[in-house]
A and B are shown apart, each in its own frame.
Chain A
Amino acid sequence: MRPDRYSRKWGVVAGIVVAFIGAIGMLDSFNNRMMISPILSLGYIALFLPIAVFGYLAARGEVNILEEPRRNVAEGAAKGGTAGFIAGLVAVAFMVVTNPYNLNEFFPNINSAMYEIMTFALGLGIGSVVLIAALAGVGALGGALYGVGDQMRGGILRAVGWILGMALFELVISDIIDVREIVRLIYARGGGLQVWSALVIGGLAWWLSVRYKGKSAQFSEMAKTSEAGSRLRYSLIGLGILLLVFLPMLVGGIVNELLINVALFILMGLGLNIVVGLAGLLDLGYVAFFAVGAYGMAVLTSPLSPTLAPMLNWWVALPIVMILATIAGILVGTPVIRMRGDYLAIVTLGFGEIVRILLLSDWLTPFFGGAQGITRIPGVVTGPVSISGTSPELFIYMTMIFVAIAAYISYRAQNSRVGRAWAAMREDEDVAEAIGISTVQAKLLAFVLGAVIASFAGALFSAKVGTVFTNSFDVLVSIIILVVVIVGGMGSIRGVAFGALMLIGVLGGPKSQGLLTEFSEFKLLIYGGILVYMMLRRPEGLLPSVRRSRELHAEEAEQDAWLDRTGEFVAEDAEEATT
């Protein structure tokens, strides 16, 4: 029997993905992290999860919105299993081809550790058979998942999601629980969930999902419409804010450190969101303004600043830094104002690099310390206390205040005259100009607002770390902020916060680690992949702004409208025919 087209296609893709994950060393480095102790490590999840996903896709086959999907457990399992089997064949072929040569020298990660994981340490012969069987089994599970009913699938996905989430976020959760005995109940000593606690979590999630099916949708509908609902909504928002205020007290230093990083990236994300999301100017050199903030603050406050060392208080220096950022925004903004969108991107990237190179150069070393950077930057001295990185519980509140300011600025700007001017400019610059919008002013304002917000982040950053070096300001930072904005949703404030939490908090920022320290080696690979995936599948982001999403899907909306219209015509024709 010839396998189904989609089973073949997704099977081959899944096999290539497995070989890829192995060859870049992901399996090996993930294998040290236990998820469910002692049976399942993160490495095997990295091996099996894609297979399950591709098995599901194979079972789904062609997506046809006009037909009711056919859901059948046995058929789905067969298709998914075939895909998994083919993936196993590809993976084994990869091992058989690479094994005889000593490729270690060129590809350090195609090594015995990789073969051991992929063959379950059973040797190439038996191991290959086991691998094919395992992948076929996992693929069949994925395919069967497509076949089961909606309620069942929802329950299973919730259960798996909760187990994975609880296992991945072991650090935070045990930090919040903070009682050793309870933590030991859930997590094993060497890390990872206990087998039985995983079962309990999964079962609980499944039961809750089945029990309260549809209730959450009902609930949010109620919150949107009825009066009692709106009161409820406000009290929920209030509760959220309260939680935010008290969270830093509940968690320990490491998590607070992480939260500060996240908050700094939310801050920069909000700034870039004004430039990219609202005004539609793709700025790839945004880190330059961050550098202006950090170096400006360092020079103004540090006693060790090489030439000019006024040793001001942080709060006194802040307005000066803001002015510097404004000037930088105008200096970068003016030359690029007439450029095409894509030239603007590259030129701003160039500006970002020029700033970094100049800061590092011998020429400006007398002012900015060159490679030695500027050290001993005092914290935010407010009255008797000095808030710096050594007291993360306090510093997080500082960053939160500035995030709130930036969010307020973006919110007000978005819904103001200039916000509407940006929206018009984004859609069509010529038309915007023609209806009397000064695009020069609007663009410059976007650049300046973005620059000032980034300089806040820079000023906080230098006070937190106490030292500034040029390597904190390379182009990577700009790109990562861009990914944060895009993943969250261009033009959406809550989207930026969500994006920063997910990416910086979980995967880690350019120089900092996230919750999942295992991912730090691969985070830029993942960032790149996410960026491509988002652009292809969901350019409006995960929590999109309504307006932006409409712009990006304008064509589809037109098509839908056209389809609706033709539908009407068809209906009319049918009516005419009957009468």
Chain B
Amino acid sequence: MSTEVAPEVAKTRRFKFNWVDSFLWFVRVAAIIAITIGVVGSFQNFAAGEGPSAVAWRDLIISSISTGSMYGLIALGYSMVYGVLGFINFAHGEVFMSGTMVGLISATILFRSGFWDSNPFISIFVVLIVAMITSTLVAIVIERVAYRPLRGAPRLIPLITSIGVSFFVQYTFAGLFGVALRNYPPAPPQLAQTISIFGLPISGTRALVIAVAIISMIGLWYFVTKTKTGSAMRAVAEDKEIAGLMGIDVDKTIVTTFAVGGAMAGVAGLMWALLFRGVDFLTGFLPGIKAFTAAVLGGIGNLPGAMLGGVILGLFEGVGPLLVLGGLGIPGVSQLKDAVAFAALVLVLIFRPTGLLGERLGSEDRV
């Protein structure tokens, strides 16, 4: 008897129904269908002359790209820290916020003295330097106080720590600066006007933001790939222990990573100031999470990926609500901007968890 049963068991094991996989397939299919219907609906509306005009769409895309490049710059910090230490530095959004908040002081002083209007570019450069220095210092202090004692701890411990750090820094700034929203001085007239690039009209501020992002990205790329410190960083990201054996000062390299990430967050802080002007102690929270989304979207640990992910996430949340949800006939789509960004994170992790350009993790973090 028993000899006859065995092959039958083998036969029934051919196909195993799996609830999780089928659910995920259902989500994938549903997402694609919903997005398609939404986009088609929007095009139909557009063809019928309803909804936003072509010019409005174009402006929306341009502004989304500039916001997205800001996310990209913040995402670089997440990506670099994740590549090297293998944990999400939840407090990175606060590093960005600290840059804008302290930059505000310098901007206000420059504005009062009239220098802001007479020499806008020098003033913005000064604010940029102040923001970068602040963010860098905050990042280094956080690393020294909170993360260094946790080397080698289980993965979730530094993540939880970074949540605590995030709240601590947030409410420190709330205590220091007060909880009111403060505004940067208005953009100087030279920047406020619309200029034309390749025939595209674009506001001066947004053009500056995109230019700053591109320049920082090139600088960072050069730093990471061509300099000695950069190769040390890549070596440490690959394998801390062996990098140490090769004579690289691992602690110093990790501090450098935090410092560079912090400096990029400082640049992003200036961009926030130019784009939105208003800052308060909660400024860092949402951009922080979105930037992490951007880092995952591009492939965590991958620097060009972070930048690309930022721009794409900017487009998702800028254009997505109107294009997809508007097409589905959902009212009040602009309120759903943040929800779209978070939904993008979920969908990316369902569709392609390694990100668009592939993740680059150290040897111990690869699963």
Contact = CB atoms under 8 A, between A and B. Distances in A.
Interface of A: 20, 23-26, 106-109, 280, 282, 284, 334-335, 337-343, 345-347, 349-351, 353-354, 357-358, 360-363, 440, 479, 482-483, 486, 522, 524-525, 527-532, 534-536, 539, 552, 555
Which residue, B105, B152, B332, has most C-beta atoms of chain A within 10 A?
Answer: B332
A324 B353 CA distance: 29
Interface in B215-231: none
Interface residues of B, number: 57
Contacts of B63: none
B20 A536 contact: no
Contacts of B172: 20, 24, 525
B339 A354 contact: yes
A422 to B, nearest CB: 15
B289 A363 contact: no
B31 to A, nearest CB: 11
B167 A524 contact: yes
Interface in B79-93: 87-88
B43 interface: no
6 contacts: A24-B172, A334-B23, A347-B345, A361-B339, A530-B164, A535-B161
B177 A339 contact: no
B239 to A, nearest CB: 19
A462 B289 CA distance: 30
Contact of A342 (B87, B343, B345): B87
Nearest to A340: B367
B1 interface: no
A353 B338 contact: yes
Interface in B325-367: 330-332, 335-336, 338-339, 342-343, 345-346, 349-350, 353, 367
B164 A535 contact: yes
A342 B156 contact: yes
A482 B167 CA distance: 13
Q: Is the interface of B mostly helix, strand, loop or mixed?
A: helix
B339 A353 contact: yes
A522 B153 CA distance: 29
Contact of A532 (B88, B146, B159): B146
B336 to A, nearest CB: 6
B264 interface: no
Contact of B159 (A345, A350, A362): A345
B55 interface: no
B247 interface: no
Given A24-B176, A350-B289, 7 more contacts: A342-B88, A345-B156, A363-B332, A363-B336, A479-B167, A528-B164, A528-B165
B348 to A, nearest CB: 10
B157 A539 contact: yes
B176 A23 contact: yes
Given A335-B350, A351-B346, A525-B167, A345 B88 contact: yes
A555 B23 CA distance: 39
A165 to B, nearest CB: 25
A230 B20 CA distance: 48
Which residue, B153, B165, B293, B346, has most C-beta atoms of chain A within 10 A?
Answer: B346
A347 B349 contact: yes
Contacts of B345: 346-347, 350
B150 A536 contact: yes
B166 interface: yes
B335 A361 contact: yes
Nearest to A26: B175
B170 A351 contact: no
Interface string B284-311: 0000010011001000000000000000
A527 to B, nearest CB: 6
